[in-house]
Amino acid sequence: MAISNGTGLKTHAATHPVWKRWVRFRGKDGNIYGGEPANPDIDVGQAIEQNIDVSVKVVAGNSALNYNAPFTGETQIIDELLSPISQIEAGTVRCVGLNYKEHAAEMKLAIPNTPTVFLKASTCIASASEPIILPPNVDYDEADYEVELAVVIGKQCKNISVSEAADYILGYSVANDVTARKHQDRTSQWSYAKGMDGFCPLGPCIVSSELVPDAAVLNLKTSLNGKIMQNGSADDMIFNIPEIVSYLSQGHTLLPGTVIITGTPCGIGISQDPPRFLQPGDQLRISISHGLGTQICQIARD
């Protein structure tokens, strides 16, 4: 697609951003920046936990959604990690439940014929390194973790085919679909139980779809206080990423910044024997391979 560059000349829109991995953060000067970690191999979440300085090559503006934004030549050190997509940019989070075969088996549920879709409010989105705060209306025996692959839409789309879906994916991130199980069981609608403030930690980064052309290669993992609870592969998905994006676009406009979370592998807390729910003081580590990185969140109560 040709666009104006402000001089009357036409240029072609970029098919991928200049960055390969995107982080959004507050610098030591108090300003918000976005850009690419200077070390392409660093796990941003782990580095921040270990108080290692993370140097970032700054991209003009602080939004991942500008495909034509260049590097400024400046570097900044992360002082406070932010979600890679802001709450305002993301809007309502689209969610697909029961999307892993082994997870369906552990829950003793039939494989669905159609994606199960629910929504999370934008206020669920939090950073990958801040505490998950359990509100007073969530009991001590119900808060659960769910590692999920997040898809970030980069270009507006509607009614697209499965074969077209990849053209609209900006990249991939790590998400945690935190869930209050007792609330979930009280109603057929899941948005309340899964939609409380901070119940969708996102990040630490977005990895460009240019680096991950096929999300089926990704490995998803959860550890709780050092014990591995979930360890699954995206190739166990019932509906793959192009199928999900295409399905969600039918009759729905997906705007740039839309976050789609795509289901969790087996091993959630409620499926343990006995069930293992999140408690204050727990350390939760959620990670996805191929550079998506690690969320490290303490559990606390409001």
pLDDT of residue 86: 98
Mean pLDDT (whole number) for 20-47: 98
Residue 12 — very low, low, confident or very high, per pLDDT cuts 50/70/90?
low
Mean pLDDT (whole number) for 56-62: 97
Mean pLDDT (whole number) for 105-133: 95
Residue 108 — very low, low, confident or very high, per pLDDT cuts 50/70/90?
confident
Mean pLDDT (whole number) for 184-200: 95
Architecture of domain 87-301: Alpha-Beta Complex (3.90)
- Give me the percent of the chain exceeding a pLDDT of 90: 93
pLDDT of residue 14: 80
Question: Would you give the distance in Å from CA 153 to the centre of its chain?
Answer: 11
Whether the per-residue pLDDT at 7 is higher than 50: the answer is no
Residue spans of the domains in the chain: they are: 2-82, 87-301
Residue with token string 């951003």: 17
pLDDT in tens, 88-102: 999 999 999 999 999
